[in-house]
Amino acid sequence: MAVWELIAIINDQNNIAASTQLHAGQVVARDSSGLTVAADRATHGAGAYLGILADNTARTGNTRIQVDPVGSAYVDPTTFAFTANNNGLYAGSNRQIGDYQAEDVTGVTNFTASSATGFEGPRRPVGIYTTPSNKLGTDQAVAFKTNDTSPSTYLDAAFSGGDAYNISDLLTYGTTSNAGKVIKVVAASNLGRIIGKVDSYDSANNILYFTQI
């Protein structure tokens, strides 16, 4: 998964366990050992929140956001209007050598490894976007919102009816299977922390543009 920096400064880094697999664009927090993990609203409150991950540490499922210089411009068959999609951003699979992602060298040339597990350490710290006013695009948003029916639960609620990411909506991070994912704030309870506000949402490419706050 991926993040795209529109206006941003990577102004922090934090240690991460060699076996922790995360995707760029995820929301991350500090666990009780001080290591970087996917932020979970039921576990990580405002004090544990770190920011938006700048690096891929997972070996599979990584994507990248990039500019499409050609695009998929087309003429609408009904209205005959020309729609230009060139130079827009899109998310696609990121093909990258695993050794650079996870430092998973298992041969005798890895002098820092005590055993050949495939998750060799120590791993370098990861970069994190933390600065308010950073403008980012991420494909780590999911169609979920904070639970607006029970203030005593941290569970996420799936989008239904007319739910959508709208301009100026507030954002936080999910829980359980949505840990590390960006979700919409609709109730002022059990938030963990408000992390940003929506600038726009490209539903065709599932890229959420937002400003960190």
The ranges assigned to domains in the chain are 3-63+95-212
Name the residue type at position 82. F
Task: Supply 70's token pair.
Answer: 């050609």
Give which of 44, 85, 81, 45 is closest to 68, Cα–Cα: 85
Q: pLDDT higher for 210 or 114?
A: 210
Q: What contacts 2, CB < 8 A, 6 or more positions away?
A: 23, 24, 25, 56, 62, 63, 64, 65, 91, 94, 138, 139, 140
Mean pLDDT value across residues 52-74? 78
- Residue 166's SS3 state is coil
pLDDT at 15: 92
pLDDT of residue 143: 96
Instruction: Enter the DSSP assignment of 176.
Output: G
Mean pLDDT, the chain, rounded, equals: 82
Residue 184: its pLDDT value, please?
A: 95
Q: Look at phi and psi of residue 100 and say left if phi exceeds 0, alpha if psi is from -120 to 50, else beta.
A: alpha
What digits encode the pLDDT tens for the residues 130-180? 999 999 999 999 999 998 677 667 889 999 988 999 999 999 999 999 999
Band of residue 191 on the pLDDT scale cut at 50, 70, 90: confident
What is the arithmetic mean of pLDDT over 187-193? 73
Please count the other Cβ atoms lying within 10 Å of the Cβ belonging to residue 199. 17
In 3D, which of 65, 49, 60, 50 has the Cα closest to residue 22? 60
CA-nearest of 7, 2, 1 to 196 is 7
105-to-57, 112, 122, 123, 175 alpha-carbon distances in Å: 14, 10, 12, 12, 33
Which stretch of DSSP H or E encloses residue 208? strand 207-212
What pLDDT, on the 0 to 100 scale, is given for residue 211? 96
Distance separating alpha carbons of residues 7 and 31, to the nearest angstrom = 28
The number of angstroms, rounded, from the C-alpha of 3 to the middle of its chain's C-alpha atoms is 7
Percent of the chain residues topping a pLDDT of 70: 77
Q: Which of 63, 64, 37 is nearest to 51 (CA)?
A: 37
State which amino acid sits at residue 162.
G
pLDDT exceeds cutoff 80 at 88? no
- pLDDT above 80 for 190: no
What percent of the chain clears pLDDT 90, i.e. is strictly above it? 46
Sole residue written with tokens 């709208």: 166
Q: What pLDDT shows up at residue 168?
A: 96
CA 21, distance to chain mean position in Å, is 13
In this structure, of 90-94, 175-179, 181-185, the range with the lowest mean pLDDT score is 90-94
